[in-house]
């Protein structure tokens, strides 16, 4: 196991632990219908930080994969299959299961008719948590898909993605904070061959 793959494995284990803490904090096992507003705000902030860390860990994992060439079947290739996969500017996790949208939720999983006080709907937060847990249950499969996406974008001449330093890492558990701090430099190193390998 290389140092990078050991780092990724270690990072995923700590991310899983942090997700378990969010599940405990929100009583996810009880499937609550509402959460206190302050608790919901805290859970959303925790999940937003974890999404960034998990996305970066998966990209690092994907960059370390050596993928076999994809066999091209002329009769079944559709133009949309070979096009660039767009990722939103907000940096949503590639390969993340879509968030569950209810009748009163928008694309971000936020209640569209949120009140200014009182409890908030728990469903969007619990769906976001479940999607991240599902992702980390089989990170290799998601990393392989992500590796294909990155390879298509590299071949299309797109610039290498950038990983800016994370803010508020002091709010994370110490070891996870150290992992979050180290990820941008590891990604910069991993992307050094992006242009030269085209």
Expressed as residue numbers, the domain containing 142 is 3-66+100-110+117-190
> Is 161 a domain residue?
yes
Per-residue pLDDT tens listing for the chain (198 residues): 678 889 999 999 999 999 999 999 999 999 999 999 999 999 999 999 999 999 999 999 999 888 777 666 654 444 433 333 333 333 444 333 333 333 344 444 444 444 467 899 999 999 999 999 999 999 999 999 999 999 999 999 998 888 889 888 888 899 999 999 999 999 999 998 886 655
Q: Is residue 78 part of a domain?
A: no
**Segment holding 146, helix H or strand E:** helix 139-155
Extended beta strands in 73-134, E state: 120-121
Residue 90 lies in a domain: no
91 located within any domain: no
Residue 60 lies in a domain: yes
Residue 147 counted as domain residue:
yes
Nearest to 34 by CA among 129, 126, 124, 120: 120
Asked whether the beta carbons of 107 and 101 are under 8 A apart, the reply is yes
Say if 196 falls within a structural domain. no
Number of domains present in the structure of the chain: 1
Distance CA 156, CA 60 (A): 20
């Amino acid at each position: 196991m290389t140092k990078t793959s050991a780092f990724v494995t270690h990072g995923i284990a700590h991310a899983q632990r942090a997700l378990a803490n969010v599940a405990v904090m929100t009583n996810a096992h009880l499937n609550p219908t509402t959460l206190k507003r302050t608790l919901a705000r805290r859970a959303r902030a925790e999940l937003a930080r974890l999404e960034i860390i998990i996305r970066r860990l998966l990209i690092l994992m994907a960059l370390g994969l050596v993928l076999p060439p994809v066999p091209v079947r002329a009769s079944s290739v559709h133009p949309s299959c070979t096009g660039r996969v767009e990722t939103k500017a907000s940096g949503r996790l590639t390969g993340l299961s879509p968030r569950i949208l209810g009748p009163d939720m928008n694309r971000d999983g936020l209640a569209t008719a949120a009140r200014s006080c009182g409890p908030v709907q728990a469903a969007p937060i619990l769906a976001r948590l479940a999607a991240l847990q599902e992702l980390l249950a089989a990170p290799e499969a998601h990393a392989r898909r992500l590796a294909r996406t990155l390879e298509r974008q590299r071949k299309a001449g797109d610039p290498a993605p950038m990983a800016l330093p994370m803010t508020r890492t002091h709010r994370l558990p110490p070891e996870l904070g150290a992992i979050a701090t180290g990820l941008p430099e590891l990604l910069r190193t991993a992307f050094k061959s992006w242009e030269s390998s085209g």
